[in-house]
Structure 1
Protein backbone atom coordinates (compact mmCIF):
# COMPACT_ATOMS: atom_id res chain seq x y z
CA UNK A 1 0.00 0.00 0.00
CA UNK A 2 1.36 3.45 -0.92
CA UNK A 3 1.69 6.47 1.36
CA UNK A 4 -1.10 8.15 -0.61
CA UNK A 5 -3.35 5.15 -0.03
CA UNK A 6 -2.70 5.43 3.71
CA UNK A 7 -3.52 9.14 3.66
CA UNK A 8 -6.68 8.58 1.63
CA UNK A 9 -7.78 5.93 4.11
CA UNK A 10 -7.15 8.23 7.05
CA UNK A 11 -9.05 11.07 5.37
CA UNK A 12 -11.97 8.80 4.53
CA UNK A 13 -12.13 7.59 8.14
CA UNK A 14 -12.90 11.15 9.29
CA UNK A 15 -16.35 10.99 7.68
CA UNK A 16 -19.17 9.99 10.01
CA UNK A 17 -22.85 9.40 9.20
CA UNK A 18 -24.94 12.54 9.29
CA UNK A 19 -22.12 15.07 9.29
CA UNK A 20 -19.56 16.60 6.98
CA UNK A 21 -15.90 16.29 7.94
CA UNK A 22 -13.30 18.99 7.35
CA UNK A 23 -9.63 18.12 6.93
CA UNK A 24 -7.04 20.88 7.04
CA UNK A 25 -3.68 20.85 5.26
CA UNK A 26 -1.19 23.47 6.34
CA UNK A 27 2.48 24.16 5.76
CA UNK A 28 4.81 26.84 4.37
CA UNK A 29 4.40 28.35 0.90
CA UNK A 30 5.36 25.92 -1.83
CA UNK A 31 5.30 22.79 0.36
CA UNK A 32 2.78 20.97 -1.81
CA UNK A 33 -0.50 21.54 0.04
CA UNK A 34 -2.56 22.13 -3.10
CA UNK A 35 -1.05 19.09 -4.80
CA UNK A 36 -1.82 16.83 -1.86
CA UNK A 37 -5.35 18.21 -1.56
CA UNK A 38 -5.98 17.50 -5.25
CA UNK A 39 -4.61 13.96 -4.93
CA UNK A 40 -6.77 13.20 -1.91
CA UNK A 41 -9.93 14.51 -3.53
CA UNK A 42 -9.10 12.77 -6.79
CA UNK A 43 -8.82 9.46 -4.95
CA UNK A 44 -11.96 10.02 -2.87
CA UNK A 45 -14.08 11.02 -5.86
CA UNK A 46 -17.41 12.82 -5.76
CA UNK A 47 -17.69 12.62 -1.96
CA UNK A 48 -14.88 15.17 -1.46
CA UNK A 49 -14.09 18.74 -2.50
CA UNK A 50 -11.20 21.21 -1.99
CA UNK A 51 -11.82 24.64 -0.45
CA UNK A 52 -8.55 26.63 -0.31
CA UNK A 53 -7.83 29.41 2.16
CA UNK A 54 -6.42 31.48 -0.72
CA UNK A 55 -9.94 32.45 -1.75
CA UNK A 56 -9.92 34.77 1.26
CA UNK A 57 -7.06 36.99 0.08
CA UNK A 58 -7.99 40.64 0.48
CA UNK A 59 -8.39 42.47 -2.82
CA UNK A 60 -5.37 44.45 -4.06
CA UNK A 61 -7.20 47.77 -3.64
CA UNK A 62 -7.91 46.96 0.00
CA UNK A 63 -4.31 45.88 0.54
CA UNK A 64 -3.17 49.20 -0.93
CA UNK A 65 -5.52 51.10 1.39
CA UNK A 66 -4.10 49.22 4.35
CA UNK A 67 -0.50 49.66 3.20
CA UNK A 68 0.07 45.90 2.95
CA UNK A 69 0.52 45.40 -0.80
CA UNK A 70 4.21 44.61 -0.48
CA UNK A 71 3.54 41.56 1.69
CA UNK A 72 0.47 39.98 0.14
CA UNK A 73 0.15 36.49 1.62
CA UNK A 74 0.98 37.49 5.20
CA UNK A 75 -1.60 36.55 7.88
CA UNK A 76 -3.11 40.05 8.03
CA UNK A 77 -3.72 40.13 4.26
CA UNK A 78 -6.53 37.56 4.52
CA UNK A 79 -10.15 37.86 5.59
CA UNK A 80 -9.70 35.38 8.42
CA UNK A 81 -13.13 36.19 9.86
CA UNK A 82 -14.73 35.27 6.55
CA UNK A 83 -12.77 32.03 6.41
CA UNK A 84 -13.78 31.04 9.94
CA UNK A 85 -17.41 31.86 9.12
CA UNK A 86 -17.20 29.62 6.05
CA UNK A 87 -15.80 26.73 8.09
CA UNK A 88 -18.73 27.08 10.50
CA UNK A 89 -21.20 27.12 7.59
CA UNK A 90 -19.65 23.94 6.23
CA UNK A 91 -20.66 22.28 9.50
CA UNK A 92 -24.18 23.66 9.51
CA UNK A 93 -25.40 23.94 5.90
CA UNK A 94 -25.78 21.33 3.17
CA UNK A 95 -24.85 23.67 0.32
CA UNK A 96 -22.20 26.37 0.65
CA UNK A 97 -20.48 28.46 -2.03
CA UNK A 98 -16.84 29.33 -1.40
CA UNK A 99 -14.40 31.68 -3.14
CA UNK A 100 -11.37 30.62 -5.13
CA UNK A 101 -8.13 32.53 -5.85
CA UNK A 102 -7.19 33.08 -9.49
CA UNK A 103 -3.38 33.18 -9.50
CA UNK A 104 -3.16 34.50 -13.04
CA UNK A 105 -5.29 37.54 -12.20
CA UNK A 106 -4.18 37.71 -8.53
CA UNK A 107 -7.72 38.06 -7.19
CA UNK A 108 -10.37 36.07 -5.38
CA UNK A 109 -13.54 35.03 -7.20
CA UNK A 110 -16.62 34.81 -4.98
CA UNK A 111 -18.88 31.77 -5.02
CA UNK A 112 -16.69 29.78 -7.42
CA UNK A 113 -16.64 26.51 -5.46
CA UNK A 114 -19.91 24.70 -4.76
CA UNK A 115 -19.84 22.50 -1.66
CA UNK A 116 -22.85 20.27 -2.17
CA UNK A 117 -24.75 17.81 0.04
CA UNK A 118 -22.86 14.84 -1.44
CA UNK A 119 -19.55 16.32 -0.35
CA UNK A 120 -19.01 14.53 2.94
CA UNK A 121 -15.36 15.59 3.22
CA UNK A 122 -14.00 19.08 2.64
CA UNK A 123 -10.24 19.41 2.29
CA UNK A 124 -9.17 22.96 3.10
CA UNK A 125 -5.57 23.99 2.63
CA UNK A 126 -3.53 27.07 3.49
CA UNK A 127 -0.48 28.32 5.32
CA UNK A 128 -1.97 29.47 8.59
CA UNK A 129 -4.47 26.87 9.74
CA UNK A 130 -2.53 26.19 12.95
CA UNK A 131 -1.30 29.73 13.57
CA UNK A 132 -1.75 30.82 17.18
CA UNK A 133 -2.79 34.41 16.52
CA UNK A 134 -6.10 36.28 16.98
CA UNK A 135 -8.66 35.09 14.46
CA UNK A 136 -6.47 32.27 13.19
CA UNK A 137 -6.61 30.32 16.43
CA UNK A 138 -10.36 29.88 15.85
CA UNK A 139 -9.64 27.71 12.81
CA UNK A 140 -8.30 24.61 14.53
CA UNK A 141 -11.49 23.85 16.46
CA UNK A 142 -13.44 23.73 13.20
CA UNK A 143 -11.23 21.04 11.65
CA UNK A 144 -11.55 17.32 12.33
CA UNK A 145 -7.81 16.96 11.74
CA UNK A 146 -5.05 19.21 10.49
CA UNK A 147 -2.00 17.78 8.71
CA UNK A 148 1.26 19.64 8.23
CA UNK A 149 2.79 19.25 4.77
CA UNK A 150 6.59 19.34 5.00
CA UNK A 151 9.14 19.73 2.22
CA UNK A 152 12.85 20.48 2.36
CA UNK A 153 13.75 24.12 1.66
CA UNK A 154 16.19 22.93 -1.01
CA UNK A 155 13.22 21.69 -3.06
CA UNK A 156 10.49 24.03 -1.83
CA UNK A 157 12.14 27.41 -2.47
CA UNK A 158 13.18 26.81 -6.13
CA UNK A 159 9.74 25.31 -6.79
CA UNK A 160 8.11 28.40 -5.30
CA UNK A 161 10.24 30.74 -7.42
CA UNK A 162 9.32 28.75 -10.54
CA UNK A 163 5.63 29.03 -9.65
CA UNK A 164 5.86 32.82 -9.45
CA UNK A 165 7.61 32.92 -12.82
CA UNK A 166 4.87 30.74 -14.29
CA UNK A 167 2.31 33.30 -13.14
CA UNK A 168 4.04 36.26 -14.70
CA UNK A 169 6.93 37.50 -12.56
CA UNK A 170 10.43 37.80 -13.97
CA UNK A 171 12.94 35.35 -12.45
CA UNK A 172 14.62 38.19 -10.55
CA UNK A 173 11.32 39.56 -9.22
CA UNK A 174 10.18 36.05 -8.30
CA UNK A 175 13.32 35.32 -6.31
CA UNK A 176 13.16 38.70 -4.53
CA UNK A 177 9.49 38.15 -3.59
CA UNK A 178 10.14 34.64 -2.30
CA UNK A 179 13.17 35.63 -0.25
CA UNK A 180 11.51 38.71 1.24
CA UNK A 181 7.81 37.83 1.53
CA UNK A 182 7.15 34.09 1.17
CA UNK A 183 10.04 33.08 3.37
CA UNK A 184 9.01 35.59 6.03
CA UNK A 185 5.61 33.88 6.04
CA UNK A 186 7.25 30.44 6.11
CA UNK A 187 9.06 31.38 9.32
CA UNK A 188 5.65 31.97 10.94
CA UNK A 189 4.29 28.66 9.72
CA UNK A 190 7.14 26.26 10.55
CA UNK A 191 6.66 26.42 14.36
CA UNK A 192 3.00 25.38 13.92
CA UNK A 193 4.21 21.93 12.78
CA UNK A 194 4.20 20.70 16.39
CA UNK A 195 0.43 21.27 16.67
CA UNK A 196 -0.46 19.12 13.66
CA UNK A 197 -2.22 15.76 13.96
CA UNK A 198 0.05 14.34 11.28
CA UNK A 199 3.18 15.47 9.43
CA UNK A 200 3.22 14.50 5.76
CA UNK A 201 6.54 14.64 3.91
CA UNK A 202 5.87 15.87 0.40
CA UNK A 203 7.86 14.98 -2.71
Structure 2
Protein backbone atom coordinates (compact mmCIF):
# COMPACT_ATOMS: atom_id res chain seq x y z
CA UNK A 1 0.00 0.00 0.00
CA UNK A 2 1.23 3.46 -0.82
CA UNK A 3 1.65 6.05 1.87
CA UNK A 4 1.61 9.78 1.51
CA UNK A 5 3.78 10.62 4.50
CA UNK A 6 5.28 9.35 7.73
CA UNK A 7 6.32 11.71 10.47
CA UNK A 8 7.12 11.66 14.16
CA UNK A 9 7.62 14.31 16.79
CA UNK A 10 8.37 14.13 20.51
CA UNK A 11 6.79 16.63 22.87
CA UNK A 12 7.04 17.28 26.57
CA UNK A 13 5.72 14.44 28.70
CA UNK A 14 3.51 16.92 30.51
CA UNK A 15 1.54 17.39 27.30
CA UNK A 16 0.64 13.68 27.23
CA UNK A 17 0.70 13.48 23.43
CA UNK A 18 4.25 12.28 23.06
CA UNK A 19 4.43 11.03 19.51
CA UNK A 20 2.56 11.60 16.27
CA UNK A 21 2.96 9.28 13.31
CA UNK A 22 1.18 9.83 10.01
CA UNK A 23 0.80 7.08 7.42
CA UNK A 24 -1.68 4.58 6.05
CA UNK A 25 -3.11 1.49 7.68
CA UNK A 26 -4.51 -1.92 7.48
CA UNK A 27 -5.10 -3.60 4.17
CA UNK A 28 -3.66 -7.03 3.51
CA UNK A 29 -2.70 -6.25 -0.08
CA UNK A 30 -1.14 -3.27 -1.78
CA UNK A 31 -4.11 -1.21 -2.91
CA UNK A 32 -4.68 2.44 -3.80
CA UNK A 33 -4.50 4.96 -0.97
CA UNK A 34 -6.99 4.02 1.71
CA UNK A 35 -6.56 5.72 5.00
CA UNK A 36 -4.33 7.72 7.25
CA UNK A 37 -3.09 6.78 10.68
CA UNK A 38 -1.93 8.73 13.69
CA UNK A 39 -0.29 6.89 16.56
CA UNK A 40 -0.20 8.54 19.95
CA UNK A 41 -0.15 7.33 23.56
CA UNK A 42 -2.99 8.31 25.83
CA UNK A 43 -2.68 9.83 29.30
CA UNK A 44 -2.87 6.34 30.71
CA UNK A 45 0.43 5.53 29.03
CA UNK A 46 2.20 7.83 31.47
CA UNK A 47 1.67 5.38 34.30
CA UNK A 48 4.55 3.05 35.23
CA UNK A 49 4.43 -0.60 34.19
CA UNK A 50 3.53 -2.44 37.36
CA UNK A 51 5.02 -5.81 36.49
CA UNK A 52 8.46 -4.58 35.55
CA UNK A 53 11.00 -4.35 38.32
CA UNK A 54 14.48 -3.01 38.98
CA UNK A 55 16.18 -0.90 36.37
CA UNK A 56 13.69 -2.02 33.73
CA UNK A 57 10.74 -0.41 35.48
CA UNK A 58 9.98 2.72 33.51
CA UNK A 59 7.21 4.80 32.08
CA UNK A 60 5.42 3.57 28.92
CA UNK A 61 5.34 7.07 27.47
CA UNK A 62 9.02 7.63 28.22
CA UNK A 63 9.90 4.37 26.48
CA UNK A 64 7.81 5.30 23.45
CA UNK A 65 9.28 8.76 23.31
CA UNK A 66 12.85 7.53 23.56
CA UNK A 67 12.36 4.91 20.89
CA UNK A 68 10.42 6.99 18.40
CA UNK A 69 11.69 10.53 18.72
CA UNK A 70 14.82 9.78 16.69
CA UNK A 71 12.80 8.50 13.72
CA UNK A 72 13.14 11.17 11.03
CA UNK A 73 10.37 12.59 8.88
CA UNK A 74 10.17 10.25 5.91
CA UNK A 75 8.43 10.57 2.58
CA UNK A 76 7.10 7.02 2.84
CA UNK A 77 5.84 4.95 -0.08
CA UNK A 78 4.46 1.97 1.85
CA UNK A 79 2.97 0.90 5.17
CA UNK A 80 6.20 -0.70 6.36
CA UNK A 81 7.29 2.29 8.43
CA UNK A 82 4.36 2.03 10.87
CA UNK A 83 4.64 -1.76 11.21
CA UNK A 84 8.40 -1.51 11.68
CA UNK A 85 8.12 1.28 14.24
CA UNK A 86 5.77 -0.73 16.43
CA UNK A 87 7.76 -3.95 15.97
CA UNK A 88 11.01 -2.21 16.89
CA UNK A 89 9.41 -1.15 20.19
CA UNK A 90 8.67 -4.76 21.11
CA UNK A 91 11.91 -6.55 20.23
CA UNK A 92 14.08 -4.92 22.94
CA UNK A 93 11.47 -5.84 25.56
CA UNK A 94 11.73 -9.52 24.62
CA UNK A 95 15.53 -9.35 24.43
CA UNK A 96 15.95 -7.77 27.86
CA UNK A 97 14.09 -10.43 29.84
CA UNK A 98 15.92 -13.58 31.03
CA UNK A 99 12.95 -15.26 32.76
CA UNK A 100 12.11 -18.34 30.62
CA UNK A 101 8.38 -17.91 31.35
CA UNK A 102 8.34 -14.20 30.47
CA UNK A 103 5.47 -12.94 28.32
CA UNK A 104 4.94 -9.37 27.13
CA UNK A 105 1.22 -9.41 26.33
CA UNK A 106 -0.25 -6.69 24.12
CA UNK A 107 -4.01 -6.20 23.95
CA UNK A 108 -5.04 -4.87 20.52
CA UNK A 109 -8.62 -3.64 20.58
CA UNK A 110 -10.93 -1.92 18.11
CA UNK A 111 -14.37 -2.11 16.51
CA UNK A 112 -15.28 -4.41 13.62
CA UNK A 113 -13.69 -3.20 10.42
CA UNK A 114 -10.77 -1.45 12.14
CA UNK A 115 -8.15 -3.87 10.81
CA UNK A 116 -7.02 -5.55 14.02
CA UNK A 117 -6.08 -8.88 12.44
CA UNK A 118 -3.97 -7.24 9.75
CA UNK A 119 -2.11 -5.01 12.17
CA UNK A 120 -1.45 -7.83 14.64
CA UNK A 121 -0.22 -10.19 11.93
CA UNK A 122 2.05 -7.63 10.28
CA UNK A 123 3.67 -6.58 13.55
CA UNK A 124 4.20 -10.16 14.75
CA UNK A 125 5.83 -11.02 11.42
CA UNK A 126 8.19 -8.07 11.71
CA UNK A 127 9.07 -8.80 15.33
CA UNK A 128 10.01 -12.35 14.32
CA UNK A 129 12.07 -11.08 11.40
CA UNK A 130 13.94 -8.60 13.59
CA UNK A 131 14.51 -11.29 16.21
CA UNK A 132 15.91 -13.66 13.59
CA UNK A 133 18.26 -10.97 12.29
CA UNK A 134 19.41 -10.23 15.81
CA UNK A 135 19.99 -13.91 16.65
CA UNK A 136 21.81 -14.68 13.41
CA UNK A 137 24.40 -12.06 14.33
CA UNK A 138 25.42 -14.31 17.23
CA UNK A 139 25.09 -17.75 15.63
CA UNK A 140 24.46 -18.08 11.92
CA UNK A 141 24.23 -21.89 12.22
CA UNK A 142 21.19 -21.90 14.48
CA UNK A 143 17.74 -20.89 13.25
CA UNK A 144 16.09 -18.73 15.88
CA UNK A 145 12.53 -19.60 16.95
CA UNK A 146 9.64 -17.23 16.50
CA UNK A 147 9.42 -14.82 19.39
CA UNK A 148 6.01 -13.27 18.64
CA UNK A 149 2.59 -14.80 18.09
CA UNK A 150 -0.98 -13.56 17.58
CA UNK A 151 -3.82 -14.80 19.76
CA UNK A 152 -7.25 -13.91 18.28
CA UNK A 153 -10.13 -13.38 20.68
CA UNK A 154 -12.44 -15.02 18.11
CA UNK A 155 -11.37 -18.41 19.45
CA UNK A 156 -13.32 -17.60 22.60
CA UNK A 157 -16.69 -17.31 20.88
CA UNK A 158 -19.40 -19.43 22.41
CA UNK A 159 -20.12 -22.51 20.31
CA UNK A 160 -23.25 -22.55 18.19
CA UNK A 161 -24.72 -25.31 20.36
CA UNK A 162 -24.24 -23.02 23.38
CA UNK A 163 -26.18 -20.29 21.59
CA UNK A 164 -28.87 -22.88 20.74
CA UNK A 165 -29.26 -23.60 24.46
CA UNK A 166 -29.96 -19.97 25.36
CA UNK A 167 -33.42 -18.70 26.23
CA UNK A 168 -33.79 -17.01 22.82
CA UNK A 169 -31.56 -18.94 20.36
CA UNK A 170 -32.66 -16.86 17.37
CA UNK A 171 -31.64 -13.64 19.10
CA UNK A 172 -28.40 -15.21 20.31
CA UNK A 173 -27.36 -16.15 16.78
CA UNK A 174 -28.46 -12.78 15.39
CA UNK A 175 -26.36 -10.98 18.01
CA UNK A 176 -23.34 -13.24 17.74
CA UNK A 177 -20.28 -11.04 18.17
CA UNK A 178 -21.77 -9.15 21.10
CA UNK A 179 -19.91 -9.40 24.44
CA UNK A 180 -22.33 -11.94 25.89
CA UNK A 181 -21.72 -14.35 22.99
CA UNK A 182 -18.09 -14.81 24.09
CA UNK A 183 -16.59 -16.73 27.00
CA UNK A 184 -14.46 -14.09 28.77
CA UNK A 185 -13.87 -16.32 31.81
CA UNK A 186 -12.10 -18.81 29.57
CA UNK A 187 -10.03 -16.08 27.93
CA UNK A 188 -9.03 -14.81 31.37
CA UNK A 189 -7.96 -18.31 32.45
CA UNK A 190 -5.96 -18.71 29.27
CA UNK A 191 -4.08 -15.42 29.68
CA UNK A 192 -3.52 -16.04 33.38
CA UNK A 193 -2.05 -19.45 32.58
CA UNK A 194 0.23 -17.99 29.92
CA UNK A 195 1.43 -15.39 32.39
CA UNK A 196 2.09 -18.05 35.04
CA UNK A 197 3.31 -21.03 33.01
CA UNK A 198 4.78 -19.32 29.95
CA UNK A 199 3.16 -21.70 27.46
CA UNK A 200 -0.13 -23.35 26.57
CA UNK A 201 -2.66 -24.21 23.88
CA UNK A 202 -5.37 -21.74 22.88
CA UNK A 203 -8.31 -22.05 20.48
CA UNK A 204 -8.65 -20.45 17.07
CA UNK A 205 -11.87 -19.84 15.13
CA UNK A 206 -13.02 -21.54 11.93
CA UNK A 207 -15.13 -18.99 10.05
CA UNK A 208 -16.22 -21.64 7.56
CA UNK A 209 -17.66 -23.87 10.27
CA UNK A 210 -18.59 -20.99 12.55
CA UNK A 211 -17.11 -22.44 15.72
CA UNK A 212 -13.87 -22.35 17.71
CA UNK A 213 -11.15 -24.91 17.02
CA UNK A 214 -9.79 -26.33 20.26
CA UNK A 215 -6.04 -26.26 21.03
CA UNK A 216 -5.25 -24.97 17.55
CA UNK A 217 -2.58 -22.43 18.57
CA UNK A 218 0.40 -23.30 20.74
CA UNK A 219 2.06 -20.45 22.60
CA UNK A 220 5.50 -21.73 23.52
CA UNK A 221 8.13 -20.58 25.99
CA UNK A 222 9.98 -19.02 23.06
CA UNK A 223 7.09 -16.67 22.37
CA UNK A 224 8.00 -13.59 24.38
CA UNK A 225 5.57 -11.18 22.68
CA UNK A 226 1.90 -12.22 22.51
CA UNK A 227 -0.47 -9.92 20.62
CA UNK A 228 -4.07 -10.58 21.64
CA UNK A 229 -6.50 -8.98 19.20
CA UNK A 230 -10.22 -8.60 19.69
CA UNK A 231 -13.21 -6.34 20.11
CA UNK A 232 -13.82 -6.16 23.85
CA UNK A 233 -10.36 -6.41 25.41
CA UNK A 234 -10.68 -2.97 27.02
CA UNK A 235 -14.34 -3.18 27.97
CA UNK A 236 -15.00 -1.75 31.42
CA UNK A 237 -17.36 -4.51 32.50
CA UNK A 238 -17.09 -7.48 34.86
CA UNK A 239 -14.56 -10.11 33.68
CA UNK A 240 -13.39 -7.93 30.80
CA UNK A 241 -11.77 -5.57 33.35
CA UNK A 242 -9.70 -8.45 34.69
CA UNK A 243 -8.67 -9.38 31.16
CA UNK A 244 -7.59 -5.81 30.45
CA UNK A 245 -5.49 -5.71 33.61
CA UNK A 246 -3.33 -8.60 32.36
CA UNK A 247 -2.01 -6.70 29.35
CA UNK A 248 1.38 -5.00 29.51
CA UNK A 249 0.28 -2.65 26.72
CA UNK A 250 -3.19 -1.75 25.50
CA UNK A 251 -3.52 -0.61 21.89
CA UNK A 252 -6.71 0.71 20.31
CA UNK A 253 -7.43 1.21 16.62
CA UNK A 254 -9.78 4.19 16.42
CA UNK A 255 -11.75 4.44 13.20
CA UNK A 256 -14.71 6.49 12.00
CA UNK A 257 -17.68 4.22 12.65
CA UNK A 258 -19.30 4.84 9.26
CA UNK A 259 -16.07 3.93 7.46
CA UNK A 260 -15.70 0.82 9.60
CA UNK A 261 -19.26 -0.28 8.82
CA UNK A 262 -18.62 0.19 5.10
CA UNK A 263 -15.70 -2.21 5.39
CA UNK A 264 -17.82 -4.69 7.37
CA UNK A 265 -20.58 -4.44 4.77
CA UNK A 266 -18.11 -5.35 2.02
CA UNK A 267 -16.85 -8.23 4.16
CA UNK A 268 -20.37 -9.60 4.68
CA UNK A 269 -21.15 -9.39 0.99
CA UNK A 270 -17.85 -11.06 0.06
CA UNK A 271 -18.83 -14.06 2.22
CA UNK A 272 -22.07 -14.52 0.29
CA UNK A 273 -24.62 -12.53 2.27
CA UNK A 274 -27.17 -10.64 0.13
CA UNK A 275 -26.71 -6.86 0.45
CA UNK A 276 -29.99 -6.37 2.31
CA UNK A 277 -29.14 -9.10 4.82
CA UNK A 278 -25.65 -7.67 5.27
CA UNK A 279 -27.05 -4.20 5.92
CA UNK A 280 -29.59 -5.55 8.40
CA UNK A 281 -26.86 -7.36 10.32
CA UNK A 282 -24.79 -4.18 10.51
CA UNK A 283 -27.71 -2.09 11.79
CA UNK A 284 -28.89 -4.75 14.23
CA UNK A 285 -25.58 -6.06 15.52
CA UNK A 286 -22.30 -4.70 14.17
CA UNK A 287 -22.92 -0.99 14.69
CA UNK A 288 -24.26 -1.32 18.27
CA UNK A 289 -21.23 -3.46 19.10
CA UNK A 290 -18.88 -0.92 17.51
CA UNK A 291 -20.45 1.93 19.49
CA UNK A 292 -19.86 0.00 22.70
CA UNK A 293 -16.27 -0.83 21.78
CA UNK A 294 -15.39 2.77 20.90
CA UNK A 295 -16.37 3.80 24.44
CA UNK A 296 -13.44 1.75 25.75
CA UNK A 297 -10.88 3.80 23.80
CA UNK A 298 -9.92 5.83 26.87
CA UNK A 299 -8.49 2.66 28.47
CA UNK A 300 -5.76 2.40 25.82
CA UNK A 301 -2.05 3.13 26.25
CA UNK A 302 -1.60 3.63 22.52
CA UNK A 303 -4.21 4.83 20.04
CA UNK A 304 -3.96 4.12 16.34
CA UNK A 305 -6.34 6.53 14.64
CA UNK A 306 -7.47 5.48 11.19
CA UNK A 307 -9.04 8.08 8.88
CA UNK A 308 -10.08 7.32 5.30
CA UNK A 309 -9.38 9.90 2.62
- TM-score, structure 1 normalization: 0.94
Secondary structure of residue in 2 paired with 1:9: helix
Q: Which residue of 2 aligns with 1:17?
A: 98
Once the two structures are TM-superposed, the CA of residue 105 in structure 1 deviates from its matched residue by: 1.7
After TM superposition, give the deviation of residue 172 of structure 1 in Å.
1.7
- Structure 1 residue 14: Cα displacement: 4.0
- The answer for the alignment partner of 1:43 in structure 2 is 126
> Is the aligned partner of 1:30 residue 2:109?
no
From 210, 235, 240, give the equivalent of 1:136: 240
Cα distance, 1:166 vs structure 2: 2.5
In 1, Cα distance between the equivalents of 2:178 and 2:98? 37
Note the 1:51-130 alignment, pairs <5 A: 51-66=151-166, 67=168, 68-130=172-234
Unaligned runs of 5+ in 2: 1-70, 72-80, 129-145
Ranges of 4+ aligned residues in structure 1 off by more than 4 Å = none
Q: Which has the higher helix share?
A: 1
Match of 1:5 in 2: 84
Partners of 2:88 and 2:127 within 8 A in 1: no
**2:107–2:250 contact (8 Å) kept in structure 1:** yes
Cα deviation per residue 1:88-118 (whole Å; 9 max; x = unaligned)?
Answer: 1111223311101111221111111111121
Matches within 5 A, 1:130-169: 130-169=234-273
> TM-score when scaled to structure 2?
0.63
Moved more, 141-150 or 151-160: 151-160
How many residue pairs are counted as aligned between the two chains?
203
Say if 1:17 and 1:155 are closer, same or farther in 2 by CA, change over 3 A.
Answer: farther
Q: Is the 8 A contact 2:108 2:116 kept in 1?
A: yes
Q: Is the 8 A contact 2:257 2:290 kept in 1?
A: no
> RCO higher in 1 or 2 (8 Å CA, sep ≥ 6)?
1
Larger of the two Rg values belongs to structure: 2
Judge conservation of contact 1:14–1:144 (CA < 8 Å) in 2. Answer: no
